[in-house]
Amino acid sequence: MAETILVVDDDLDILELLKMNLEPEGYNVRTASDGDSAVQNARIDPPDLILLDVMMPHKNGFQVIEELKDIEETKSVPVILVTARGQTEDKVRGLDTGADDYITKPFDLREVTARVEAVLGRTRPIKYINPLMRAMGERFSEEGLEQLAGHLQAAAAIQKKLLPEQAPSLDGYDIATLLQSSTSVSGDFYDFIPLSETQIGIVLGDVKGNGIPAALLMVMIRTALRLLCHEEDTPALILKRINDLVARDTEADLFATMIYGILDTETSTFTYSNGGHCYPLHWNTTRNIDVLKTGGMLIGAFEEATFTTGTCLLAPGDILVFYTDGITETEAGDDPGSDGNHGVSKNPEQSDVDQDGIPTDTFYGGDRLAVCLSKNAALSASALCEAVVNDLALFSGSTQTPDDRALIVIKRDV
Amino acid sequence: MNFDTTIGEENISTLHVEGKILGNATDTFRKEMEMQLQTGHDKLVVDLTNVPLIDSSALGAIVTTLKSCQESGGKLVLLNPQKAVQEVLEVTHLATVIEIYDTEESARDAFM
């Protein structure tokens, strides 16, 4: 999801310089060389951010901001003003007019990138939450219902945007993800948050409840996590703060389970806490499966909940697996004979697994997931995800997913 | 899912549930517990002996009811959850805030 920045300056060299600097950071960059075309450009297709020069002929930056704030489509687009050095009056006036930040010329390109990212980081959550908040406040008139359907679609689209399109690439680790949604608005979510050169925050969670309230809760948790992971040191403290926030602001029957942890490539450790979520599995090349049980209560139901932090050491070849209950609660297929597909979908291997005391008429379960993981431990992370999906299809006799399923596989290179 | 409710001594309600508490059944389950509260029965035993599995909405219903019972000075306890349900209660740590008993007698004693 590349974000779009509109750069406005009457100096074409500066336009080119900023474009060359911002595009490699992953932004789409559009340019405008005067105030009128900037306003028109922004109105037709509102960008995520505008970098706006103050000193321009015909229409200056302040006038442009005033116009943008009067237009419905552009009034919430954040603006960073570019002013001449020392013009304190400009800064004050700019911030009064509604600019979100300012940069002084001549600028340091690294500062530009940092300020752009800071402003986008601040406004991104607001942009996502607003449509959901409006949907929540809607009355259930006929018109409201129609709008609600639209909002649900919008919510689904927002959720898709919030989920990383692909797993991050991290030196020495192979990471793969899987998300299967049963409905348009999924309760399962995951996210990867770069914390430093060698640390990445990883979250996998499951929001309980349905529809827009659940979607809103997911956005709330994700946003809170993105902010808190830079403020608090330990996963347990982060979960505690998210728990208190959700418990204070929502009903008791709206809650989530989630695991948050920090993968450190320097120390080869995973430091985590678990808010009532399915226990992660650690496949260890020497001791087979460890179940990571450190954590605490599910998130958002009890203000007095407390959490603890655990650490596990990852040796070369070790595998960490996070999953949601949509996987372990997958139901077994019907009895043989009641379904014509059975001859195909069941194979003799399944009865081997069942001798662990898992009857065929119940659920997939963490034990069977652990077995699948051990059997396929030599595979790459993405091939492991696929192996789990195939095993689920084998077990249930179906490729349908009645519940949302999410899976993250992290494998340390050998 | 089926259930029946018996009111015993000390005004203790026991909700015997039979079958999975999933999907639409969760609503029925929630409403039954709400009704007990509305009729002044805030001492609730939820008998899970014959419940192979509950979903997250059912957990939500239990948490909400637990809190309502506590607010009015009562209590909600669970009776004899089976393996899959017990696991869910442990993973979510709800087992640390909800009293769980093996026998109907010990569950009722919890209110004395």
Q: Which residues of A touch B63 (CB under 8 A)?
A: 252-253, 255, 301
Residue A306 confidence (pLDDT)? 93
**CA of A308 vs chain B CAs: smallest distance (Å):** 12
Q: Which residues of A touch B85 (CB under 8 A)?
A: none
- Select from A154, A149, A147 the least CA-distant residue to A132: A154
**Cα separation, A303 vs A244, whole angstroms:** 5
> B57 and A208: CB-CB below 8 Å?
yes
Query: Which residues sit opposite A250 in a β-bridge?
Result: none
A269-308 residue pLDDT tens: 999 999 999 999 999 987 689 999 999 999 999 988 999 9
Give me the mean pLDDT over the A375-381 stretch: 93
Answer for the pair A202, A263: CB distance below 8 angstroms, yes or no.
yes
Nearest-CB residue to B64 (from A206, A253, A363): A253
Dihedrals φ, ψ of A206, to 5°? -145, 115
**Cα separation, A185 vs A190, whole angstroms:** 14
Q: Which of residues 68-107 of B touch A (CB under 8 A)?
A: 84, 91-94, 96-97
Q: Which residues of A touch B53 (CB under 8 A)?
A: 329, 362-363
**Cα separation, A392 vs A218, whole angstroms:** 26
Q: Which residues of B touch A252 (CB under 8 A)?
A: 60, 63-64, 67
Preferred mutation among A182, A204, A208 to probe B, highest tally of B CBs within 10 A = A208
Count the neighbouring beta carbons within 10 Å of the beta carbon of residue B88: 22
C-alpha neighbours within 13 Å on the C-beta side of residue A231? 11
> Which amino acid is present at A304?
E
**Cα separation, A161 vs A138, whole angstroms:** 23
**CA of B109 vs chain A CAs: smallest distance (Å):** 26
Interaxial angle between packed helices A381-396 and A365-375, expressed in degrees from 0 to 180 and rounded to the nearest 10: 130
Tell me, yes or no, if B31 comes closer than 8 A to chain A by beta carbon.
no
* Complex prediction ipTM: 0.85
Residue B39 confidence (pLDDT)? 86
Give me the mean pLDDT over the B66-83 stretch: 92
Residue B57 confidence (pLDDT)? 81
Query: Positive or negative CA dihedral for A124, A128, A131, A135?
Result: negative
Q: What residues have CB less than 8 Å from A164, skipping those under 6 apart?
A: A177, A190, A191, A192
Answer for the pair A47, A77: CB distance below 8 angstroms, yes or no.
yes
Which uninterrupted H or E stretch holds A269? Answer: strand A269-275
Average pLDDT, chain B: 90
- Taking CA atoms, what residue in A is nearest to B54? A329
Query: Which residues sit opposite A282 in a β-bridge?
Result: A290, A320
- Select from A242, A222, A221 the least CA-distant residue to A232: A242
Mapped onto helix, strand or coil, the DSSP state of residue A180 is strand
Preferred mutation among A182, A239, A253, A302 to probe B, highest tally of B CBs within 10 A = A253
C-alpha A213: how far from chain center: 17
Residue A242 reports pLDDT greater than 50: yes
Q: What residues have CB less than 8 Å from B112, skipping those under 6 apart?
A: B10
**Cα separation, A133 vs A171, whole angstroms:** 39
> Which amino acid is present at A141?
S
pLDDT class for A347, splitting at 50, 70, 90? very low
What is the DSSP pairing of strand A319-323 with strand B2-7?
Answer: unpaired
Nearest-CB residue to A276 (from B61, B67, B91): B91
> B56 and A251: CB-CB below 8 Å?
no
Percent above pLDDT 70 for chain A: 80
Which uninterrupted H or E stretch holds A126? Answer: helix A109-137
C-alpha neighbours within 13 Å on the C-beta side of residue A349? 10
> A298 and B97: CB-CB below 8 Å?
no
**CA of B95 vs chain A CAs: smallest distance (Å):** 9
Nearest-CB residue to A209 (from B60, B84, B91): B60
Q: Which of residues 155-214 of A touch B (CB under 8 A)?
A: 206, 208-210
- Tokens found for residue A30: 């559009």
**Cα separation, A6 vs B16, whole angstroms:** 63
Give me the mean pLDDT over the A363-369 stretch: 88
Nearest-CB residue to A252 (from B55, B57, B63): B63
Answer for the pair A252, B63: CB distance below 8 angstroms, yes or no.
yes
- Select from A299, A323, A322, A333 the least CA-distant residue to A402: A333
A111-143 residue pLDDT tens: 888 889 888 877 766 555 555 555 555 444 455
- Taking CA atoms, what residue in B is nearest to A251? B64
**Cα separation, A278 vs A162, whole angstroms:** 22
**Cα separation, A214 vs A187, whole angstroms:** 7
CB pairs under 8 A between A and B: 53
pTM over 0.90: no
A204-230 residue pLDDT tens: 999 886 666 777 788 889 889 998 998
